Amino acid sequence: MKIEEVRDIAKLKLPRGKTKAAYSSSVHRGLQFVLKPHKKAWYHRYQKPGGGRTTKLLGTQYPDTDYADAVALLQSNKAMLAKGLDPVDQAQAGFRAKRQQQYLKGASVEQRYRLSTLAAAFLEHCEATTRTGTVVRYRSSLGVHLLPNFGGIDVRYFHYPDFEVFIHQLAKQSPSAARHAFAVLRAMFSYLVAERVVEANPLLGRKQLTKATRVYPRDSYLTHQQIHKFVNELPQQDIPDDAKIILMVQLQSGLRIGEVCGLEWAQVDTKAGVIHHVAESMKGGERAQTALSKGLLHTLVAWKKQTAKRKRLFSQEWNTAAMVDLVRNNLRDWIVFTTHDIRRTVATTLQELGCPEEIRRRIANHKVSQGIGQAYDKSQQIKLQLYWLEHWADALDGLKLDPHYLDNDEVDSERAALLAQLGGSL
């Protein structure tokens, strides 16, 4: 079907079991409307001047960029191609020029007033006064979103309207990222007021941004077909080996991506068959243990042969921010997912398999008990963790061979007959 034949583009949905669908234009050659689980957008698919085909996003997501906007941008791209210029290369050159301009602007700012310098002091202060999980979120938000865009500014002359535009643009991509960026910078300015670097917090009392970027829990996780694709094709992806193993360990264990990245070989207890997590590395600030399933052990044994001389399992450059950036930029055309979607995949599939909620929470390193129970319910329930993680390992092995491994294909003939009498069908 051509996009001009669709009566209402806003109501287009992905076909069942698909993670991507593209509708071409019958009027404008190269124009495509692409649907993904959390994104609808216009793209230009074209032949590069140097050979090979590629695609370029036209504007922002739909409906912010509508059909007319997409056609106008398409014509602009075609004008560049007629001159022998690649629109993607031109966009990247413009981005580099903007970053260079930001750098030069920041280079004239005194170090003691530059946001990037003060951010380091703020994080050092937080490490001594704030929960570890909060510090991890602060560091991630600053590194991924704030410093690349505002690192060179003079904090004494912070321009709120520019920040407001940035936050609302970020909210279109990720509401939670926008909320965290706003909260982190507001906390940082409160610190700067206490340190007498600035006279007042420019974000204090500005509640409308947090309301505008209200966050709802994501409900996305990998389908059985996507898990099949993930475990079979991950080794062939064009990313570093460390990143491949980090993602595989997360899928096998259900741990947070930061917990995986920071692991040291000394934490892997081969006698007890568990991974020991120190309190400083945990979001809740409490020690925890993860049972080692056979599937996870196979991965770690193979990886140990390549990294026997390392103290850490993975190079120090790999952290939450680096993995989030890699998944977003390097794997988006393979499977649309986030690192947290992997945790939801483990928890959801364990739920399907019948794993009790308490054990799922232990595996995910969430708090299990409330009130007085927090003082007394200290068991990590390793045997039950292992029991259900082995079930998960078996499920992964089955899904690797067959994406329908966990589907229930058995048909209750009596139920089918009753449904038929009601005019329904299976």
- Please state which CATH class domain 3-86 belongs to: alpha beta
The contacts of residue 161 (CB under 8 Å, 6+ apart) are none
38 — pLDDT class (breaks 50, 70, 90): confident
Residues 348, 218: Cα–Cα separation, whole Å = 13
Report the Cα–Cα distance between both ends of the chain, in Å, rounded: 28
Q: What is the CATH number of domain 109-212?
A: 1.10.150.130
Burial degree of 398 (CB within 10 A; 0-12, 13-18, 19+): middle
Residues 45, 22: Cα–Cα separation, whole Å = 11
What ranges do the domains of the chain cover?
Answer: 3-86, 109-212, 224-401
Q: Positive or negative CA dihedral for 131, 133, 135, 137?
A: negative
* Mean pLDDT, range 56-78, rounded to an integer: 90
Among the residue ranges 66-75, 174-183, 210-219, the one predicted with the least confidence is 210-219
Nearest Cα to Cα of residue 16 among 42, 35, 39: 35
Average confidence score pLDDT of the chain: 85
The answer, yes or no, to whether residue 425 has pLDDT greater than 50, is: no
Residue in the structure block whose two tokens are 């009130």: 371
Tell me the helix, strand and coil percentages in the chain, rounded to 5. Answer: 55, 10, 35
Q: What is the CATH number of domain 224-401?
A: 1.10.443.10
Residue 379 has what pLDDT?
63
pLDDT tens column, 289-340: 899 999 999 999 999 988 878 889 998 889 888 898 899 888 988 998 999 9
Residues 154, 124: Cα–Cα separation, whole Å = 20
pLDDT tens column, 69-106: 999 999 999 999 999 999 988 887 876 676 566 555 55
